[in-house]
Amino acid sequence: MYTREEIHNFEGKYPKQLLHLAGSEMWERFCFYGMRGMLTVFMVTQLGLGDKVANLQYGAIQAFVYAFTFIGGVFADKILGFQKSLFWGAILMIAGGLVIAISPADLFYIGTCFFIIGTGFFKPNISTMVGQLYSENDPRRDAGFSLFYSAINLGALLGGVLMIWVGKYHSWPLAFGLVSVVMTISLINFIYTRKSLGTIGLSPLHPDMPVKKRRIYEVAVYIGSLIAIPFILKLVTNTHYTDLFMYIIGPLTLVYLGWEMRKFNVKENKRLLAALVFILFSILFWAFFEQAGGSLSIFALNNLHHTLLGFIPMDPNIVNNSANSLFVIIFAPLMGLLWLWLSKRKSEPNSVVKFGLGFLLLAGAFYAFYATIFFADADGMTSLDVFTLGYFIITFGELCLSPIGLSLMTKLSPQPIQGLMMGMWFLASAYGQYVAGLLGAGMSTADPNASNLSKLVSYTGGYQQLAIYALILGVVLIAISPGVRRLMKGVH
């Protein structure tokens, strides 16, 4: 079995274990982003929901997906360990896909509950294991997370294109069934490569704990996950309960973190405060960015021409669900190498400035989405090319924030609560998704019979406002970067 020291002392830019984990993550993200791209389209075209309700429902489902990454991170830290958490999460996601595939219209929400819990156990813990492949001050960490992020987006690209295409033009049961097939591939990949992780991700329970007691704890987590399904179903199908849940879970999380912080010294706690700054701004970033699965998905369904570059036939929902991933695959490795090149020359911008740049690029992207109104015809149909340009710009904003954020959570967090902090990072995404649903609902027209032109005006006006807010937030982040850097205590 590999020791941590042997893994940390790898030669070259990337450890081999990173490629193994990236393989499992790629197939899981195929499922996640394929599902994300189908949600609002399925709810509008198959469940008969109006635009406003579909946006709220999308925000609720995605919020719970990410909220449960916090819970999955805590149970991994305290009982299961990262490896068993990942295994259990994959099993639940496989089950969720099968449940929906049986009868998409009738069992959609029940299957989604399996998917919510499964993602909660899978997603934060595989990211945490990636961080633990590196020693504390290894400058190759950001490049590793950038490569990992490329794997995420390769899966997102494949799922984003294939699942929406299968669902819209062939069979919704088959599209949801793909979730189970592909998650099985992810799980098999992990099973056959997990030995290379050595002690990384094994149970955090004390080695002297009796085996019987250890199993009781673990089985209790598994049973508790299943018992929670009816409760989650009630929350997901009633957005008023979603509001209540989101009002409660955030403050409770902060209280729990405060309780854990008493165990650490001043330097460690200042780093945790810096992590909270990044988490706060990430909520706002994802609230804008995640219009992709909500309002932008409906915008693509109703308001975009079906040709790219003037002559290529293309479904706008496929572009909406895959363009960002394609651009990330192309440019994420180059961005990672750029950070390494700048680091060697002591010119790499610090993480706070990177976050600020991410918001400035986000502002540019939403201005492009707004600018589609200048290319619209009398029927409210507009340019898919300009829309795609928005995704090209937003990709660089994402690359300045998301892979850096994953890396920062592992750098700024003491090891005993790395799963917790990674869960908090994804909980911030939950709040972002929740707010994204509210923003999307606010931009949508109240009249279900509104014309495409009215929908175009309503959505593009909202995108213009988001562009202004993102610009302001980017300037603020860059302005406060010196203070946040002092809290980071040497973490770049």
Tens digit of pLDDT at every position of the chain (492 positions): 666 677 777 777 778 888 888 888 888 888 888 888 788 888 888 888 887 788 788 888 888 887 787 788 778 878 888 888 888 999 999 999 999 999 988 899 999 999 889 988 887 677 778 878 887 777 777 677 777 877 878 888 888 888 888 888 888 999 899 889 999 999 998 888 888 877 877 878 777 788 888 888 889 989 998 998 998 888 888 777 777 878 887 888 888 888 887 887 878 788 888 888 888 898 899 899 888 878 888 888 888 888 888 778 888 888 888 888 888 888 877 877 787 788 788 777 777 888 889 999 999 999 999 999 998 888 888 899 999 999 999 998 988 877 677 677 777 777 777 767 777 777 788 888 888 888 887 887 656 677 878 888 888 889 999 999 999 999 998 988 888 778 776 666
Residue labelled with tokens 């898919």? 384
DSSP states along 92-133: HHHHHHHHHHH-HHHHHHHHHHHHHHHHHHHHHHHHHHHHTT
pLDDT of residue 325: 85
Please give the residue range of the domain that contains residue 32: 4-488
Instruction: Report the number of distinct structural domains present in the chain.
Output: 1
Regarding beta strands 307-308 and 312-313, do their DSSP bridges make them parallel or antiparallel, or are they unpaired? antiparallel
* Residue 140 contacts residue 90 (beta carbons within 8 Å): no
Phi-psi region for residue 81, left (φ > 0), alpha (ψ -120 to 50) or beta?
left
The enclosing H or E element of 312 equals strand 312-313
Residue 290 per-residue DSSP state: G
| Domain containing residue 333: CATH number | 1.20.1250.20
DSSP states along 316-362: HHHHHHHHHHHHHHHHHHHHHHHHHHHHHTT-PPPHHHHHHHHHHHH
Helix axes 418-443, 104-131, angle to 10 degrees: 140
What's the pTM value of the predicted model, to 2 decimals?
A: 0.77
